[in-house]
Amino acid sequence: MTTTTETVLDARGVTMRFGGLTAVKNVDLTVNSGEIVGLIGPNGAGKTTFFNCLTGLYIPTEGEVRYKGTVLPPKSFKVTAAGIARTFQNIRLFNNMTVLENVLVGRHTRTKEGLWSALLRLPSFGKEEQASREKAMELLEFIGLDHKAEHLARNLPYGEQRKLEIARALASDPGLILLDEPTAGMNPQETRAAEELIFAIRDKGIAVLVIEHDMRFIFNLCDRVACLVQGEKLIEGTAGEVQSDERVVAAYLGEPFEGAPGADEVAEVEAAEAHAEEAPAEEAPAEEAQAEAAEAEAAEAEAEAETDADAETDADTEPETPAEDDTAPAADSTTSTTTDGEAK
Ligand SMILES: Nc1ncnc2c1ncn2[C@@H]1O[C@H](COP(=O)(O)OP(=O)(O)OP(=O)(O)O)[C@@H](O)[C@H]1O
């Protein structure tokens, strides 16, 4: 069997500004058919904003997003209809509807009747209902929740609610699914199950773009990984390439590195802060040095005066205080004396 690779998603130069804040800056990203691509980056890097630009929730300030070669309309329901489905960071289910009904709602873009007749269960909805139900049950079976089809969504454990969100997104028959932190709040067992589910989604022929903070999960899962830092794409490559890139490690640890997005600004601020901290520290030694010099001068003058007086009164008498001989190596003795004095 030969498979041809098709560019499913092609985002070019996507920039999103909120007033003075550039949340996403000139980001290019492609996802090909059969691929699982990861999007990582520290908190606030712009990942969700980028997702929102891809799915019509935000109209990018600059740039273009194409799905299978066609520029996407800036409306989320049209983007879904075009073939891109998504899940959200915070679960958004209809809690008082059953598991099955939640999936049926996700099908509204593929039925003639639309969302409101699905939600309100208008008579016209019944005509298409049977086919939709069958499709929805297939999806529930796929995610392993068919036995809970009639349960209320709110009664599902957390991990199953996340799965249900994925099933609802799949109900729109997407060619690409965007998953925003699908394992957030999951225990290790649920995370492993989510990983298997995502591989199975890819095996169904649906390309995947996934945001995650769990690095082990993302590096296990993804064919390619892109890392955003302060809105800019820092690197894109295989899991191995990204994992071993010291700039990625530094970005996660919050350490600046040469050429990092925003590094110039950070360096300027740090230099200014360092200068402000150093200034008083520099003054202190200068003041100390002046005081030391003054002390030394005074000691010298005193010694001289005593020496003169001694010489005048009794040239044979031993001086009580160090004489000129002792003051000769003035610099050294002054320094050590003063230091010792301060230490006392
Ligand atoms: N609607 C908005 N209005 C103003 N600023 C916003 C808006 N949405 C996001 N931002 C800002 O844009 C930046 C990127 O936020 P975003 O949520 O995209 O980051 P993220 O990488 O998804 O973070 P996290 O991993 O914490 O979810 C942040 O500084 C955020 O405060």
Per-residue pLDDT tens digits for 222-254? 999 999 999 999 999 999 899 888 888 887 766
Cα–ligand 1 centroid distance for 46 (angstroms): 5
4 Cβ below 6 A of ligand 1:
no
From 229, 259, 289, the end of a domain falls on 259
Question: In angstroms, what is the span from residue 204 Cα to ligand 1's centroid?
Answer: 32
Task: Answer yes or no: is 248 within a domain.
Answer: yes
156, 135 Cβ separation under 8 angstroms: no
Question: Domain for residue 303, yes or no?
Answer: yes
Residue whose Cα lies nearest atom 23 of ligand 1: it is 44
Q: Identify the pLDDT of residue 185.
A: 87
**With a 6 A CB cut-off, is 46 part of the ligand 1 pocket?**
yes
Atom 12 (ligand 1) nearest CA: 23
Question: What is residue 165's predicted lDDT score, i.e. its pLDDT?
Answer: 95
Task: Please give the distance, rounded to the nearest whole angstrom, from the Cα atom of residue 81 to the centre of ligand 1.
Answer: 26
Asked if residue 88 is part of any domain, the answer here is: no
206 neighbors 142 (Cβ within 8 angstroms):
no
Task: Compute the distance between CA of residue 272 and CA of residue 265 in angstroms, rounded to an integer.
Answer: 11
Q: Is the CB of 49 under 6 A from ligand 1?
A: yes
Q: Is 117 in the pocket of ligand 1 (CB under 6 A)?
A: no
Query: Are 255 and 132 part of one and the same domain?
Result: no
If you take atom 16 of ligand 1, which residue's CA is the nearest one? Answer: 46
Q: What is the number of the ligand 1 atom nearest to the C-alpha of 231?
A: 14
Contacts of 238 (CB under 8 A, 6+ apart): 223, 224, 225
Residue 107's pLDDT is what?
Answer: 82
Residue 182 to residue 197: CA distance in whole angstroms: 11
| CB-ligand 1 contact for 242 (6 Å cutoff) | no
Last residue of a domain, one of 158, 173, 188: 173
Find out whether the beta carbon of 104 lies less than 6 Å from any atom of ligand 1: no
Give pLDDT, residue 271.
75
Beta strands in 19-80 (DSSP E): 21-32, 36-40, 62-67, 70-71
Whether residue 167 sits in one domain with residue 28: no
Q: What is the pLDDT of residue 132?
A: 83
ipTM over 0.90: yes
Task: Point out the residues of the chain with pLDDT beneath 50.
Answer: 281-286, 307, 309-344
Residue ID of nearest Cα to ligand 1 atom 26: 43
CA separation for the pair 151, 157 (Å, rounded): 11
Ligand 1 contacts CB of residue 54 (under 6 A): no
Atom of ligand 1 at shortest range from CA of 228:
21
Ligand 1 proximity of 21 Cβ (cutoff 6 Å): yes
Q: How far is CA 154 from the centre of its chain?
A: 30
The tokens describing 179, both together, are 């998953």
The response to whether residue 90 sits with its C-beta less than 6 Å from ligand 1 reads no
> Could you tell me if residue 292 is inside a domain?
yes
Domain co-membership, 272 together with 214: no
**One-letter amino acid identity for 284?**
A
When divided into structural domains, the chain yields a total of 3
Task: Among 134, 151, 173, identify where a domain stops.
Answer: 173
- Domain assignment of residue 167, given as a range: 93-173
Ligand 1 near 48 CB (within 6 A): yes
Nearest alpha carbon, ligand 1 atom 3: 18
CA of 261 to the centre of ligand 1 (A): 16
CA of 234 from ligand 1 middle (Å) equals 17
Please tell me the distance between residue 198's alpha carbon and the centre of ligand 1 in angstroms. Answer: 25
Q: Give the residue carrying structure tokens 């709040």.
A: 185
pLDDT, residue 75, reads: 86
Same domain, 193 and 154: no
**239, 180: one domain:** yes
In a domain, 59, yes or no: yes
